[in-house]
Structure formats: C-alpha cells, structure tokens
Structure 1
C-alpha cells in the first residue's frame, strides 16, 4: 500500500526534513520513464539519489560556483569516483606527491592493478608536473594545500599546463574550502571535497562531494557513483547541511586561533619547524597569499626533533586535545601522520616529504586561544631534553 499523504499545512518547516525513505513510488510505468529520462523531477531508489543529498549538493554548488554536484559516501569515495570515472586501462594520471595518504595509496597500489599508469610529482613545482606528462596522461589530481605538510600547489601554472595539454585538472579543496579558494575560478575541471571535515565540522558526518565543470563529465561521475553504490545516507546529508550553516563562522574563529598558535609554536625552543600558510616563513608564502587572499586556514603543522618517544610524549601531554586522525571538528585535534594517514610509507619516504617522526598536524577548533596555547606548552614541556 502507498503511504498516506502528509498533512496539509499553510506553514513550512524552517529546517530541511530528514527523508530516510529508500524507495519512492510512482503511479505508472510512464511516470517512471519521465523521471529516468529527465523530463520530470522525481526519485526512485535512494542509491540513485534522494532529497537530502540534492539539498546539500546544491548548497555546496552555490559555494563553489558549480552546478549539478554529486554527494558521495566519503571524501575518498569522491576521489575514487573521479579516478575511476574518468580513467580507463592504458591511461596515465599524475598526482601530487603530498596528497592525503589514502589518495596516495589508491594511486600507488590500486590504479596500477587496474592497468592505469600513475606518477606522483611535486605539485609546488609546475616543472615537475610537466616532466611527468605523457602522451596518455588524462588527469592531474592535486590538493592546493597539501595534507599534512601544508605546502601550496602552483595552481595557476598547473592549470595553464593542463589546459594547453588537454588534460583534466581535479582539485581536492578539502583543506582550503570555498571560503579560501574556489578552484573553478582558477581553471580546475573538477572539484572534490571531504564534507566530513570542515564543511560539516562536527565529526559526526561521513560524506563527500564532487562536481565537474563539464555537464557531460558530471553525468559520467554521477553514473559511476550510483552504479558503485557510493551514495551517502539521507541522515549524513541532513547532518552535513546542519553543519554547513555554521561553516563560515566556525572557519573564521578557527583560523584566527590557528594563526596565533602557529606564531607561538614558531618561537618555542622545542619546535624546530612550523608550517602555516599565513606565515611569512612558509615556503610558498607569496603564493598562499595570492591564492587565498591572505587567509591561512585552520591547519597548523609543526616538528619536534626526536623519535617515537618524543612523539608519544607530545601526544600524551596534550591533555584535553583529541589525538585523532581527523580535522575540521569544533574541537582541536592532533594528528601524527607517521602512525596514521601516512603509515603505509617508509620512514625514509616520509622524511623525503618533510614528515619526520616528530611531525604533527593540528586541526584548530573553537577553543579559547590562550587555553589552547597553554595545552601545547604543557605538552612540549614534557618532551625529553
């Protein structure tokens, strides 16, 4: 039996309703045809799309300047949809060599198994990307601010190179967010987000987003997401929309505190290096300022010289801060790439990328800045020597 219709009402909800139905009923086969063929809007089966996903995607579309973006079950699902949906056996893809650890793993281990050639290159140097180009290169995937080393990609030159070579450019905009940078404005063909992170901002959502500038390519990506079962749940999308409503306020507070924390750590005697895009000593400070309008974001990375004993001391000493491999929460989190996101790399490989054992990444939240700085001071006081 079909469900009873909703009660009639002159008023409307001020919050988007949560619509968890898996199945949607149509009156006739003709009605179903009209929906599947795009003549009428409607829903059939939630894996193929549902209202909460469309509401959230439309909000992110407006932020990014895109159209027809697709929600996925995670940020990595969005990355996978781009790589699998755009590439075939015999194609070649270039990835930034400081991508998120799982993105690196996907490119290094899974794509070659499927006959897709991969090369990792330094995205801060357009010449390195150019040297990696081949006749069969179809796609370049970069993060403008790399995870976790916070290096800044040469977006303008890479975009120009990809355009000249007829190669797609995909930008993972998770760290920068559309508040700091809109990749479509800089020539990107595809924009990716882990909505799990800053956009939702409460560590209770697992979702991703992908949007292509070209409608035909966007349709291909959507088809792959639906076919491979990457669609997120209505509840995650509903929570994601809830988080998005406070996104800009959260980011403003967090990056203000992050700038203060970075300056404090930069003068601490037990810290050998601080990376923050808003500091003048950042390796790509001028580029960061040009791309992000002087903003630095909410992520800070730093190095404490020493091995695992030192790393354990810092993590233990940072009482009140979650030691967890995530970012973008309302609470500050501390991450250690050597034991989490980049654990699959050898110590030598991590060292080459600028991530020694004492490297930490901080996702700054909404705490009182003075209280947060005091926590890090206590943690560093516990470091031997």
Structure 2
C-alpha cells in the first residue's frame, strides 16, 4: 500500500494533533544523517521522541523557566533518569528522609545493588545533610514539600551547601508545582515532576518530567531514558497537555479550598493534628512562608485519634471521596500512607516519620468548599463514634 500524503490546509488545528505513529519515514540516508546529527529537526522512532512529548516538555520548560526538559513515562521514571542516568558505581547520593515511598525504596534497595551508596537526612536541617556528605557524594534529592507529612525543605540552605561541595541539588517539585515554587530560582540544579498528578489533573495520565540547568545533564538523562525505554505515550502526552491548559485555574481553586479545609479540620473533635504549610501551627510555617510566598498548595494531612479502626470508619463514611493512592485529581482523594505509599516501612520507621495508623493525606479537588467540609465533618464524626 502506498503512503498517502496528509491533505494540505490553509488553516491550522487549534488543538495539538495526536501523533501515535511509532516510526517516521525519512526521504534519504543523507536526510536521516541530518536528523541524527542535529542539522535539522525530525523524528525517527517514537522511543527517541515524538511531537506530543515535545509539546508537553516545551510547556513545562516554560513554566519552570528552563529548556531541554525530558518527558518520561511516569514520575518514578523521571526520578530514575536522574539517579541512574547521572550516577555510577562508587558514587554516593543523599536523599531527603521523607521522600515518596518508591523513591525511598529506590534509595534503600536498588541503588545499593548497583554499587551506588545512599544516605537519608532531614532536608529541613542543613547541618544533618552536611553531616551525611562524603567525598564521593554527587547528588542530593529532596522534595520541596514532602510526601506525605508536608515538611518544607530548606532549599536555600541546601543549595548553598551543595554549591560549596560541588554536589547536584535535585528537587522533586510535584507537590508544589511551578505555580507554587520555582526551584531554579532558589539554586536547584535539577527539577523533577510527576505530571500524573496536579499538572495533568484528571487521573487518566501517567507521565514524568525532568530538566536540568546544564544542558549536558539533560542530554545524559535523555540518552538514558531513550536507551532504557522510559518512553512516554503520545496519547498520555496529548491528554496531559489538555489538562495543563486548565492547570492554573485548578491549582488556585484547589489551594483555596485546601486552606479552608485545613482550618476546618483543626476544629473537629477526633482530629489529633492538621498539617498545612500556611497554618501557623505547622512545624515549618516560618520557612514555608518565606519559601513558598503564601502558596500552601492543595495538599492537607491530618491525624485521627483511634488508629486503624478510626481510619477504616472514616473512609467508609467519607461519602463521595475516593480512597485512592493518588493526588492532583479534579476530585478530592484520600491516601492512607500506612497501607499504601509507606507500607513497606516498618511500624517503627513510620512512627519516626509521624505516620500513624490514623494519618491521612488529602489531595483537595474542585468540589464546593462548604460541601467538602461537611463530608469531612460527618466522616470524622463516624470515625470518632464508630
């Protein structure tokens, strides 16, 4: 069957076309050489890049004040592109001690298996991170706001420390997003996102993104991602771009509701504590106010009295809310770290992080704020009396 050329058009599509093609045809071997050697831009095989991924990368580059970002198949593949694409056997990496559960597993089990030594330290304590540095330390990975206790890292202090020791500072900006925080403006070398979450925003996409200030680092991460097949789906990229077009509006609405919900939860009997960075009782409130400039974002965590029994009663009574290990959806979702993201940790390790059986992380969505507060009022009451 002969190839049929696309119809010419004097107009252009308003929506980015979906480009699911796995392969792209070149006119001649010389033309293919021109592409591979950078004299012209073109596509060859979608594992090496495709139009929809480039559109998403360009949008995120613009949001983060960067260029040359790499879109990957998931948030964890973006983390892997950093740690495995830039480090080698004999290197040492420090991670924040409250990273996402799978990032912690990667640090604890997979990197050591490959000869990369790891340590964990409190990213809110520059002296603790300094004490963990070794001569072979090459990189520090932290979350601007941690998952799920919403601890705020001392990014400015860590950036200074990393510069002093020639260490790369990689910041996972998933919780904060570019609307809440811009890591490059505070000295970060690498920024990571799980696009899956608030950026795409509809729980129908799985993608990641990573970008470095240094284009040589971007090239190394891109080559690793291509070689190991961390390829994003064109369809997911197409959906993600659609979600990103409403991102600012969704972020602002969800953040305002999150602040109101946090204050409301603090008034309810049966709630032992509430964590929200803009509340004055947050342990890192002063740092959050300075670093985030009033942007508390859409995540709230709280702890019920009553342990696992109360947790079960709460989720059963939380009418209309999804109990699901995700965040950033248009609907509010509940996550219970002890049974999901941090289940691989021992009870003692979870306790050290402040993750009791009654601890919940809430990703606030776009519901009516008053209706949402009523749902939590009723569910907490059921947990307290159940």
Whether the TM-score (by the shorter chain) exceeds 0.5 is yes
The aligned residue for residue 114 of structure 2 is 114
> Any conservation in 1 of the 2:305–2:384 contact (CA below 8 Å)?
no
Give 1:93's aligned residue. Answer: 93
Assess if the C-alpha contact under 8 Å between 1:169 and 1:188 holds in 2: yes
Look up the SS of the partner of 1:344 in the other structure: coil
Distance 2:2 2:44 in 1: 14
After superposition, the C-alpha distances for 1:27-66 in whole angstroms (9 at most, x for unaligned) are: 1111111101111100000000000000010000000011
Query: 1:96 and 1:52 mapped to 2: Cα distance?
Result: 33
Q: Secondary structure of 1:102's match?
A: helix
| Conserved? CA contact 2:200–2:242, under 8 Å | yes
- Give the 3-state SS of the residue equivalent to 1:93 in structure 2: strand
Runs (5+) with no aligned partner, structure 1: none
**In 1, Cα distance between equivalents of 2:272 and 2:384:** 14
Report the Cα offset of residue 235 of structure 1: 0.2
CA contact 1:321–1:334 (8 Å) conserved in 2: yes
Separation in structure 1 between the aligned mates of residue 214 and residue 3 of structure 2, nearest angstrom:
39
Q: Where does residue 289 of structure 2 map in the other structure?
A: 289
SS in 2 for 1:44: coil
Paired position in structure 1 for 2:155: 155
User: Structure 2: which 5+ residue stretches go unaligned?
Assistant: none
- Separation of aligned partners in 1, 2:44 and 2:139: 33
Aligned pairs, number: 385
Question: What is the alpha-carbon distance in structure 2 between the residues aligned to residue 217 and residue 310 of structure 1?
Answer: 47
Cα distance between partner residues in 2 of 1:267 and 1:122: 30
Matched residue, 2:258: 258
DSSP 3-state at the match of 2:314: helix
**Secondary structure at the counterpart of residue 60 of structure 2:** helix
CA distance in 2, matches of 1:294, 1:13: 38
Contact map agreement 1:298 1:363 (CA 8 A) in 2: yes
- 1:353 and 2:350 matched: no
Counterpart Cα distance in 2 of 1:56 and 1:4: 28
Counterpart-to-counterpart distance in 1, 2:128 and 2:115: 23
Structure 1 segments (4+ residues) deviating >2 Å: none
Q: Secondary structure in 2 aligned to 1:157? A: helix
For the residue of structure 2 that corresponds to 1:90, the secondary structure is coil
Shift of 1:286: 1.3
Residue 247 (structure 1) shift: 0.2
- Cα root mean square deviation, aligned: 0.8
- SS of 2:84's equivalent in the other structure is helix
Q: Say whether 1:308 aligns with 2:308.
A: yes
Which whole-Å CA distance do the structure 1 matches of 2:325 and 2:2 have between them? 45
- Provide the secondary structure at the position in 2 that maps to 1:14: coil
Contact 2:306 2:384 (8 Å CA) reproduced: no
1:110-132 deviation digits (Å, cap 9, x = unpaired): 10010100001101111111010
Q: Separation in 2 of the partners of 1:2 and 1:220?
A: 38
Shift of 1:383: 1.6
Q: What is the DSSP-based 3-state SS (H/G/I as helix, E as strand, rest coil) of the residue aligned with 2:138?
A: strand
- Per-residue deviation, 1:342: 0.3
**CA–CA separation in structure 1 for the residues paired with 2:311 and 2:100:** 20
Whether the aligned pair in 2 keeps the contact of 1:2 and 1:25 (CA below 8 Å) is no
| Cross-structure match for 1:274 | 274
Secondary structure in 2 aligned to 1:192?
strand
Aligned to 1:367: 367
Is the 1:190–1:210 Cα contact (8 Å) retained in structure 2?
Answer: yes
- Match for residue 178 of structure 2? 178
Q: 1:165 and 1:305 mapped to 2: Cα distance?
A: 44
For residues 259-292 of structure 1, what are the alpha-carbon distances to aligned partners after superposition, in whole Å with 9 as ceiling and x for unaligned? 0000001111210100001111111111111111
Mapped partners of 2:41, 2:171: distance in 1: 30
Alpha-carbon offset, residue 317 of structure 1: 1.1
Q: 3-state DSSP class of the match of 2:33? A: helix
Aligned to 1:327: 327
Q: 1:181-196, aligned counterparts within 5 Å? A: 181-196=181-196
CA distance in 1, matches of 2:122, 2:304: 24
Helix, strand or coil at the partner of 2:67: coil
Rounded to whole Å, the distance in 2 between the matches of 1:128 and 1:318 is: 40
Q: In the TM superposition, what whole-angstrom CA distance separates every residue of 1:281-334 from its partner, at most 9, and x where no partner exists? A: 111111111111111100000001222111101111111000000000000000
Question: In the alignment, what sits opposite 1:209?
Answer: 209
Could you tell which deviates more after superposition, 14-23 or 299-308? 299-308
